[in-house]
Amino acid sequence: ETPVVSNFIRTIIDNDLKNGRFEGKRWAGRPGPASVQAQGGLDPARIRTRFPPEPNGYLHIGHAKSICLNFGLANDYGGACHLRFDDTNPEKENTEYVDAIKEMVQWLGFDWHYSDESNLYFASDYFETMYQFAEALVMAGHAYVDEQTPEQMRATRGTLTEKGQNSPWRDRPAEESLALLREMRDGKHPDGSLALRAKIDMGSPNINLRDPVLYRIRHVEHHRTGKTWCIYPMYSWAHPVEDALEGITHSICTLEFEDQRPFYDWILARLAELDQLAEPLPRQYEFARLNLTYIVTSKRKLLQLVQEGQVKGWDDPRLPTLFGLRRRGYTPEAIRLFCERLGVSKADSRIDYSVLEQALRDDLDPKAPRLVAVLDPVKLVITNYPEGQSETCHAPINPHRPEDGERTFPFSRELWIERDDFREDPPKKYFRLFPGNSVRLKYGYVVRCTGCVKDEQGNVIEVHAEYLPDTKSGTPGADAVKVKGAITWVSAAHAIPAEIRLYDRLFTDPTPDAGDKNFLDYINPDSCKVTQGWLEPGANATPGAVWQFERLGYFVADRIESTEERPVINRAATLRDTWV
Ligand code: ATP
Ligand code: MG
Ligand code: MG
């Protein structure tokens, strides 16, 4: 097991626990999730984190980093991590995404069910409480209804170098704002005509504190609350409230929210003063988001790739979505290992794609069963081996795990080998088949190449060789004949035909979406090559089965399209990093 590597968030948690920041069962009788109420408050000794996806798309490898971090911390500290759907943007959200996200969190090996509590929440469950909080803010003079248009608000917000200007409606009486807020909620005003804004400081150097909008009017149906609401909270207002209602102790988000933290703290402090929320209040911490080379991880760009047909859907094995990675052959263990190796930092960087692939190799090498496959086949005829005869060869299922036992497969006169394992005119240091040279057929005999047969265009259609009867692997004296090369093969009469999809990176450029580059200009035209190959007989190509194909890499039976009759195999990763 990989030892736990400390990080700045762990240091913060350790200090908080030492200083008793969460002591006192302060949440009983507060507004909040029914499950929390039923418990009579929250367990004060527990740290609480949350993973808060918006159900507007499929999870990708960047989300995995956040999931591993939040659920991982909760597990390590005996705390709890909440899965909370931040469903405050009804236009783009739906329950299909909700289900897909739940499935992927569990696939990664995490769970929001604990022995004594279940922590699945929806921001929409707090709409009523949030609304009540908003009324309290209005009554206390901390929020007002603005009648400026969205364009006017943008124009008066100011810039980094220029202060904003107060809205003419900023100092209207609280009762007036309250009455308008109720009309907004009751559907009496069209979209964009009114907004509820926090009253903070239009001169603040932090633009996020220049009277940010709390509620806007959107006459749209929500996938969970239907037509109950026509005002929806802004994310920056909803998020601290959701965290507080759930008793989150450490609200961990990506760096772009750093500038929002003062507003996060402002909202919670005002609501605590108004006795709507109680200490200990959640605190927000930021870490660097995951960026990978040779791929994009923004939901919008992933959607574009799918919609424009650059890939075959959300689960295309070339996409960094968790559905895509699973189909590509990634295991949850490999993704968790990758996230552990990334660590948690505050410095933005792009991680090389090969780090992800290496995590897969490191996970699969010790456990994946081995198999022989030939991807680009040419026939090898053993001219001195009797026709119609065959014999059994033995190979370890996994050389790292002798306890897994052996596999067996037949040797016969006609074999499939890789086209590249024969050269009529070999380059220097080529130790495989060429006329006059001997190689070992792995797990079989040493053979000496005697020539080849070509078609009219000069393509090699058969390679010929003679075997040396005393050299069979595993028999006494097998090593008496020394050879420099060993190649893999399958018996032509016994091998299983398979479609093999050789996936590669989706982009040819390491930073396809950096700066003002258009990522669509860098699509790798060879990101999927399809070949008709052969598998070792006995290969049990049940959908989702993963192997190491000897000498070739890690492969998986496609979980959607593969059948036992017609295996479809995806290359997950080459054996070594071959990308140059
Ligand atoms: P995208 O930017 O791809 O649209 P998002 O941040 O809008 O993603 P959310 O559903 O809001 O998607 O994300 C849920 C959680 O996952 C957030 O807490 C967010 O910080 C985290 N997250 C998203 N992308 C990454 C990433 N690349 N690295 C680390 N964490 C991420
Ligand atoms: Mg988001
Ligand atoms: Mg985003």
206 is in an annotated binding site: no
Nearest by Cα to 205 from 162, 261, 167, 255: 162
Q: Which pair of structure tokens corresponds to residue 404?
A: 């897994």
Cα separation of 246 and 118, whole Å? 12
Domains of the chain by start residue, with CATH? 17-123+237-290 (3.40.50.620), 129-232 (3.90.800.10), 299-369+499-574 (1.10.1160.10), 373-488 (2.40.240.10)
Cα separation of 402 and 420, whole Å? 31
Q: Atom 23 of ligand 1 has which residue's CA nearest to it?
A: 63
Cα separation of 48 and 83, whole Å? 11
Cα separation of 360 and 536, whole Å? 23
As for the ipTM of the complex, it is: 0.96
55 is in an annotated binding site: yes
Q: Is the CB of 52 under 6 A from ligand 1?
A: yes
Where in the sequence numbering do the catalytic residues fall?
Answer: 54, 289, 299
290 is in an annotated binding site: yes
Q: Is the CB of 54 under 6 A from ligand 1?
A: yes
Distance 517 CA to ligand 2 centre (A): 23
Q: Atom 14 of ligand 1 has which residue's CA nearest to it?
A: 53
Q: What pLDDT is stored for residue 300 in this prediction?
A: 92
Q: What pLDDT is stored for residue 576 in this prediction?
A: 87
86 is in an annotated binding site: yes
Of ligand 1's listed atoms, the one at least distance from the Cα of 67 is 16
DSSP 222: B
Distance 235 CA to ligand 1 centre (A): 13
Distance 63 CA to ligand 1 centre (A): 5
Q: What pLDDT is stored for residue 93 in this prediction?
A: 87
Cα separation of 217 and 195, whole Å? 7
Cα separation of 574 and 580, whole Å? 13
Q: Is the CB of 65 under 6 A from ligand 1?
A: yes
Q: What is the DSSP secondary-structure string of 476-519?
A: TTGGGS--S-EE--EETTTPEEEEEEEE--SBSSSSTTSTT--G
Q: What pLDDT is stored for residue 117 in this prediction?
A: 82
Mean pLDDT in order along the chain per 10 residues (580 residues):
72 90 60 63 77 96 97 93 95 92 98 89 95 98 97 96 97 98 98 98 97 97 95 96 92 96 98 88 94 94 95 96 98 97 89 96 97 98 97 97 96 98 96 97 98 97 97 90 95 97 96 95 96 95 96 97 94 81
Q: Is the CB of 157 under 6 A from ligand 1?
A: no
Long-range contacts of 198-205 (CB under 8 A, 24+ apart): 198/137, 198/142, 198/143, 198/237, 198/263, 198/266, 198/267, 199/141, 199/142, 199/143, 199/144, 199/170, 200/263, 200/266, 202/156, 202/157, 202/158, 202/163, 202/164, 202/165, 202/166, 202/170, 203/163, 203/164
56 is in an annotated binding site: yes
Q: What pLDDT is stored for residue 535 in this prediction?
A: 97
The answer to whether the beta carbons of residues 61 and 71 sit under 8 Å apart is no
Q: What pLDDT is stored for residue 1 in this prediction?
A: 45
Q: What pLDDT is stored for residue 46 in this prediction?
A: 80
The answer to whether the beta carbons of residues 85 and 53 sit under 8 Å apart is yes
Distance 169 CA to ligand 3 centre (A): 32
Q: Is the CB of 63 under 6 A from ligand 1?
A: yes
134 is in an annotated binding site: no
Q: Is the dihedral of CA 382, 384, 390, 395 positive or negative?
A: negative
Buried b (16+ CB within 10 A) or exposed e, 529-549: eeeebbbbbebebebebbbbb
Ligand nearest to the CA of 288: 1
Cα separation of 463 and 453, whole Å? 6
> How do strand 496-503 and strand 568-574 relate by DSSP bridges?
parallel
Residue 554 has a CB neighbour count (10 Å cut-off) of 26
Dihedral pair phi/psi, residue 572, rounded to 5°: -85, -45
What residues are paired with 535 via a beta bridge?
A: 373, 496
Determine which helix (DSSP H) or strand (DSSP E) holds 333, and give its type and residue range. helix 332-342
Q: What pLDDT is stored for residue 580 in this prediction?
A: 45
What residues pack around ion ligand 2 (CB closer than 5 A)? 54
Q: Is the CB of 147 under 6 A from ligand 1?
A: no
Distance 320 CA to ligand 1 centre (A): 13
Within 13 A of 286's CA, how many CA atoms are on the CB side?
15
| Inter-axis angle of helices 61-76 and 8-18, nearest 10 | 30
Cα separation of 468 and 483, whole Å? 12
Ligand nearest to the CA of 57: 1
The answer to whether the beta carbons of residues 454 and 438 sit under 8 Å apart is no
Cα separation of 480 and 248, whole Å? 69
Q: What pLDDT is stored for residue 224 in this prediction?
A: 94
Cα separation of 560 and 566, whole Å? 12
Distance 80 CA to ligand 2 centre (A): 22
Give whole-number Cα distances, 552 to 13, 269, 420, 433, 572, in Å.
45, 59, 12, 18, 11
Q: What pLDDT is stored for residue 347 in this prediction?
A: 87
Q: Atom 18 of ligand 1 has which residue's CA nearest to it?
A: 253
Q: Is the CB of 254 under 6 A from ligand 1?
A: yes
Helix spans in 77-233 (H): 95-107, 127-139, 150-155, 174-185
> How do strand 80-85 and strand 120-122 relate by DSSP bridges?
parallel
Q: Indicate the top mutation candidate among 51, 63, 322 to test ligand 1's pocket, ranked by most ligand atoms within 8 A of CB.
A: 63
